[in-house]
Amino acid sequence: MLSNTLWAAMALFGGLATAGYPPDVVDKLAKDSMSKVKDWLAKNPQGECNLKTAIRRKEWSDLTKNERKEYISAVLCLQSKPSKMSAEAPGAKSRFDDYVVVHLQQTMRNHGSTFFLPWHRLYLWHYENALRTECGYTGYQPYWNWDRYAQDPINSPLFDGSDTSMSGNGVFVPHPGIGVPSAPPPFNMIPPAQGGGCVTTGPFRNMSVNIGPLAPTLTDIKPNPQPDGLGYNPRCLRRDLNRNSAAVTTANYTYSLITSNENMYWFQTVMEGQFDQGKWGVHAGGHHTVGGDPAGDFYVSPGDPVFWLHHAMIDRVWWIWQVQDLEKRLKDLSHTMTMNNSPPSRNGTLEDENNLGRLYGDVLTRDLMSTLGGMGGRLCYIYE
């Protein structure tokens, strides 16, 4: 076994990530691409936003234990503050729930459409800002590098159930697995794992899931009292951490996603999944790695706190893809205005508007394309 001194020395010279995880091919691509960012900024200065002032979003295991605890405390703080949306969503009891409400209300608009990536970038930024301005968080939104934990998510720093994790697996409850609509056999069913019940370990073991379900992947969840899923329906956080789903999120899939798709149409299509071909994509793979309730529910998945780390990784992958050709890809948009073009609609444009309902007003898609200077400089971050 390597000594702590040797681990530290290897990390210092770039041999290992700071938490002891060797850089994967995506990490290396991101690092090697920073020269392209520098060149672009030299030609396109972004006012006060530059590589010295840009926020650094970091991977969960690269945070110190105290930094992880601070993030967890901020999320718990948001869950303790009263909702601003309870008038339109009786089930919303906290500021954390407000974000679940917004996602549910806009699910059909912001998935499989031109809004998928830019809207989630706005959504993630606003959540990060709420943690900082409402709960005193001094860090920034961490991400979940899927590859690091894909072989054994249950025992990873993210899910090991310790006080520095995002809580652990659910207790074992037999269930048939998760159906994947439109996928051909054998890809139409994700085999069950060893969880499925209530999470009993870690910081979120006592949290209440209040919104939904609307599209549950577990059959024994009590239905919401309102058909729109916005009624008050308190229940425990449930997970079924699943290596079968995690298998499609290893670095080779992410690297291929970034390097093999030259335009936004194919990049987004492959990322979101081609279910009719039995290809889940890293987006669905990450969600179903967690599974359970609410993470497995398409509409209310942000009700599991790990959603935000998963979508930070989604945003990171888009950022790395954009960096490969910034001049072109900061303008590259695809898909129509409706999910899977149903009902048929026009193509989306950079002038279309995104919003977070009552939480935040309209933002042009154009202003969400760049993490370095977008939204008049309010977006100013990179991923480490």
201-248: pLDDT as tens digits = 999 999 999 999 999 988 899 999 999 999 999 999 999 999 999 999
Q: How far apart are CA 372 and CA 380, in angstroms?
A: 4
Report the predicted TM-score, pTM, of the whole model to 2 decimal places. Answer: 0.94
State the pLDDT at residue 19: 58
Residues in the chain: 384
CB of 161 closer than 8 Å to CB of 202: yes
202 against 18, higher pLDDT: 202
Q: Are strands 170-172 and 353-354 parallel, antiparallel or unpaired?
A: unpaired
Query: What would the two tokens of residue 200 be?
Result: 């009993």
Q: How far apart are CA 234 and CA 331, in angstroms?
A: 43
Number of CB atoms found within 10 A of residue 68's CB: 22
Q: What is the mean pLDDT of residues 25-51?
A: 98
pLDDT band at 300 (very low <50, low <70, confident <90, very high): very high
237: left (phi over 0), alpha (psi -120 to 50) or beta: beta
What digits encode the pLDDT tens for the residues 167-191? 999 999 988 887 776 777 877 788 8
What digits encode the pLDDT tens for the residues 104-130? 999 999 999 999 999 999 999 999 999
Residue 189 pairs with which residues in a beta bridge?
179
Query: What would the two tokens of residue 31 be?
Result: 């690092």
Please name each of the domains of the chain with its CATH number: 35-383 (1.10.1280.10)
In eight-state DSSP terms, residue 234 is -
Q: What is the mean pLDDT of residues 344-372?
A: 98
- Is the pLDDT assigned to residue 166 strictly greater than 70? yes
- Alpha helix positions (H), 200-250: 243-246
- Is the pLDDT assigned to residue 13 strictly greater than 70? no
Q: What is the mean pLDDT of residues 30-48?
A: 98
Q: Helices then strands (H, E): number in the chain?
A: 13, 11
Q: Are strands 208-209 and 178-179 parallel, antiparallel or unpaired?
A: unpaired
Q: How far apart are CA 232 and CA 2, in angstroms?
A: 51
- Is the pLDDT assigned to residue 17 strictly greater than 60? no
SS3 44: coil
Q: What separation in angstroms does the CA of 285 have from each of 63, 146, 247, 306?
A: 24, 9, 8, 14
State the pLDDT at residue 183: 76
Please name the helix (run of DSSP H) or strand (run of DSSP E) that holds residue 340, with its range, or none: none
CB of 11 closer than 8 Å to CB of 3: no
